[in-house]
Structure 1
Amino acid sequence: MSERFDTLFSGMSEETARSTLLRKPSELDNPGLKYLAATRLGACTSAESFELLLEAGANPSDDLYERITRRKALDALGRRKNPKALPVLLDALRADDEPTVVNAADAIARIGIPVDINGQAELIRALEGPDNQRRAVIQAFTRLGMADRDHAIDRCRQDTNPLVAGAAHAHRVRVEGNPDGLSPLISQLQDDNPGRRRAAVIDLGDAGRVEALAPLIRCPVSMPLRAKSAFLMATTGRGSIEPKAVDLLEQLLQDDPRRLDLDGLPPTEAAEDAIRDGLQHRDEARQYAAAKALMTLPKEGQLNLIDGLRSSLGSDYGVHYLLASCTGLLHLHERSDLVREALAETAPQYAKSRVAAAWSCLRLGLGDQRSALQALSESNPWQPLRWSCERALLHLA
């Protein structure tokens, strides 16, 4: 998701980023600028910036700032998608620094070209590391469609860590074409642990089977994470959306808390303090439960609470999103200005609020927003927002 935040580094020119990346951390007033520079160069296209990223990605220094810079450089090389980076990325798999190996494996997958037998052997060797590293390696095999020649990945399906086992189940489904890996992943969508639920959503996206879409869209994790996997599952080999998936995608993107699987949670009390606390919880399921409680209040209570939350927590992008969503779901025409403002918000961290606003425009009949919806449907780079605006316009017509 790094691309969504490129604008945060837009104040750093490519020239500045290149010169910063060349300097030692001890020469900088703020050594952290060095790894920010590596991230910035991931959005560039010049040959000079690519060569600098290769140099930073191959730097084995033990200095903390240099290590972080190396990780960011490896991530940036993946975003550049240039196969010439593969030797550096494969070499980085031998690092003794887990985040470095994880970023290298992720970058190899993002370049999108299956590696040769020697490269696959390097990846398999990295399966001997910590669990996060093992998960990233298995994901690389899955996303590149590479076979499990020595059954090393298949053995991981029995791992006690569901994050490792889940990645191996996804490989079995997508690469081996065996759908029996779907069942444990679908079951994991109901796990009490939010991290495991999120992992299952990612793994189902990697598995890429549309038949698992219905349970996935009801899982109480963040809408953008579900949407990313859902579009992978719903997109055909020709790049179009499976017709049978359209209604499910619309349900997911409208994101009504009342349609999510929240039965495993104690309900949030329909009281201002409880709702406010729940909306700020780190577990998205608790956030959705709080939004659901807000929706049970009398209309006057809904309006008053939304006004109070908008004033005190409006800069919290999770709260901002749920307010933009609930305003439309509750048909609160009195707060249509909130929806208009959310649709016009261009800061990247509020992108999901624009999705909620698109559907709220439909529910509130905001025909004056057609031109904004049209522009977003034609040019926005984020598929869930672009598709939401397209569908909202279709229904508005």
Structure 2
Amino acid sequence: MDKRFFNIFNLTEDQAIALLKKPLAELEDQSERYVAASHLINFPTSRAINALIETIQDPNPELYHRIARRKAVESLGRLKAKEALPIIQACLADEDAYTVENAVWAIGEIGTEERSILAEIANLLDKPGQNYRLIIQTLAKFNYQPALAKIQSLTDSEDEPTASTAIATVARLTGDYSKIGRVVEFLQHSSVNARRACIQDLIDAKYYPALKDIAKCPVSIVFRLRGIRLLAEKGIAEGEINFTQVEPSLDQVIRDRPQDLEMVHEYDQKPSLEFLIRELYHTDFGRCYLASQTLLEEYPQEAPEALMETYQAEAYNDYGAHYHVIKLFGWLQYQPAKEIIIEALHNNQPQFQKSRAAAAIAIAHLGATETIPLLKNALTTSIFDLKYACLLALEQLGDYSSCQVATEDADLLIKTKANQIASINN
């Protein structure tokens, strides 16, 4: 689990517990109780767990307390607090749909063999206004066969993420994958939420033939890379696939070229340069990729200067646009951006991590052989996409021997790729 963002409030355990117990009217900011419930994830102690349980048991109907209760349920799930199961189970009947949702998720995290709890979760599929997708995922985690008929009834849901997980779960529970193609089709849905959701469903279903389809899906690299890595790790460990079958999709995702994606959006006329630059800030990365591709095809001469202007004005501080701009600098072989790209390679801020891999690829496109020591050094980090991107960059720059650094890497995919490149010299 990635815990980089958990400990951002700098509270001690005593301070967090005190905030949970403090009356709302006495708090400087009413959201402090939520903050405290969130922060206690850092303290897997009986005191923290008891304080979270007490928060849930407090029936105060005030909005800010309800929000804190929801977070307390989630935190108990993250702490895998088995002693809290009875309290969390009681939340399944809560009037607040978000509290119910968090309770279902927490039970999935903590684990249970009590069929009565699973039956109660399954019955929520008959209750309007619930998060059916999460309920189905949790039931699938426990391989709860008695829920099969209820899940089957949702395979035609108008809500695409719900239909997607229902189809994938039916396949998992029955072993019949004849309908899984419908989940693969969601990778090209116009809704970004549907595209992201079905990647998780394909992971859960262990549907290895979808690797190449996930690689082409126009969503953020974060979702595609996670899907390919998890499928690869499961499939290789179980002997279902090998690295040779994974490598093309993995390389494609790390390079992340827009021409390698199957776009779900299109323009009915040539957009202006200004419009395309603004699209790089869109939250739907499908639009960002289409804009990137169009900039490369329609404005190869004008784009570099426009990208530099938007970088200096906004993109330097917008992690989505930052990523796309760094990549474009590389594909456009824009040498004046070299220092910016090198700076991105070393950016340690968590939200800018994917830009580091983009920078490694961009450096290779610039042919910046003087940066080889920097790429080699980056191979010692713990960030998968950065290490893999550095391997691809070093290979592109013709320095195969530097990849030797990663030939004993703890990650099988990195290790295999590094050995493959390092062997080119031998």
What is the TM-score of this pair, normalised by structure 1? Answer: 0.88
1:347 corresponds to:
349
More displaced stretch, 352-361 vs 24-33: 352-361
SS at match of 1:151: helix
1:210 corresponds to:
208
| Partner AA of 2:126 in structure 1 | E
1:24 corresponds to:
23
Query: Is structure 2 residue 284 aligned with structure 1 residue 286?
Result: no
CA deviations 1:93-113 (Å, max 9, x no partner) are 2111111112222222233x3
CA pair 74-277 structure 1, distance change in 2 beyond 3 A: same
CA pair 308-128 structure 1, distance change in 2 beyond 3 A: same
CA pair 58-324 structure 1, distance change in 2 beyond 3 A: farther
8 A contact 1:185–1:204 mirrored in 2: yes
Query: Is structure 2 residue 253 aligned with structure 1 residue 248?
Result: no
SS at match of 2:302: helix
CA distance in 2, matches of 1:335, 1:161: 44
CA distance in 2, matches of 1:362, 1:71: 47
Query: Is structure 2 residue 85 aligned with structure 1 residue 76?
Result: no
8 A contact 1:361–1:369 mirrored in 2: no
Higher relative CO (Cα under 8 Å, sequence separation at least 6) belongs to: 1
2:326 corresponds to:
324
**Following TM superposition, by how much is the alpha carbon of 1:311 offset from its aligned partner in structure 2, in angstroms?**
0.8
SS at match of 1:158: coil
CA deviations 1:301-332 (Å, max 9, x no partner) are 23212211111122111101111222334443
8 A contact 1:18–1:52 mirrored in 2: yes
**Greater radius of gyration (CA):** 2
8 A contact 2:164–2:197 mirrored in 1: yes
| 1:1-397 to 2 correspondences below 5 Å | 3-7=3-7, 9-111=8-110, 113-130=111-128, 133-149=131-147, 151-236=149-234, 238=237, 242-243=242-243, 244-262=245-263, 264-266=265-267, 269=270, 271-296=272-297, 299-314=300-315, 315-364=317-366, 365=369, 366-376=371-381, 379-380=382-383, 383-385=384-386, 387-389=388-390, 396-397=399-400
CA distance in 2, matches of 1:47, 1:386: 39
**Following TM superposition, by how much is the alpha carbon of 1:248 offset from its aligned partner in structure 2, in angstroms?**
0.5
SS at match of 2:28: coil
Listed as ranges, the gaps of 5+ residues in structure 1 are none
CA distance in 1, matches of 2:346, 2:46: 36
| Partner AA of 1:146 in structure 2 | Y
CA deviations 1:264-301 (Å, max 9, x no partner) are 42278453311122112232211111121222255542
8 A contact 2:148–2:173 mirrored in 1: no
SS at match of 2:266: coil
| Partner AA of 1:373 in structure 2 | A
More displaced stretch, 231-240 vs 203-212: 231-240
SS at match of 1:236: helix
CA distance in 2, matches of 1:324, 1:202: 28
**Following TM superposition, by how much is the alpha carbon of 1:4 offset from its aligned partner in structure 2, in angstroms?**
4.2
Listed as ranges, the gaps of 5+ residues in structure 2 are 401-426
CA deviations 1:193-237 (Å, max 9, x no partner) are 222222222322222211112112211122212222222222226
SS at match of 1:42: helix
8 A contact 1:58–1:92 mirrored in 2: no
8 A contact 2:277–2:307 mirrored in 1: no
CA distance in 1, matches of 2:38, 2:269: 40
**Following TM superposition, by how much is the alpha carbon of 1:117 offset from its aligned partner in structure 2, in angstroms?**
0.7
| Partner AA of 1:74 in structure 2 | V
8 A contact 1:361–1:367 mirrored in 2: no
RMSD: 2.7
8 A contact 1:218–1:260 mirrored in 2: yes
2:406 corresponds to:
none
CA pair 85-392 structure 1, distance change in 2 beyond 3 A: farther
CA distance in 2, matches of 1:130, 1:388: 46
| Partner AA of 1:375 in structure 2 | T
8 A contact 2:124–2:130 mirrored in 1: no
| Partner AA of 2:349 in structure 1 | A
CA pair 20-283 structure 1, distance change in 2 beyond 3 A: same
SS at match of 1:71: helix
SS at match of 1:321: helix
CA distance in 2, matches of 1:172, 1:71: 30
CA pair 267-33 structure 1, distance change in 2 beyond 3 A: farther
CA pair 272-347 structure 1, distance change in 2 beyond 3 A: same
CA distance in 1, matches of 2:390, 2:79: 29
CA pair 163-236 structure 1, distance change in 2 beyond 3 A: closer
Q: Which runs of 4+ in 1 moved over 6 A?
A: none
What is the TM-score of this pair, normalised by structure 2? Answer: 0.82
SS at match of 2:5: helix
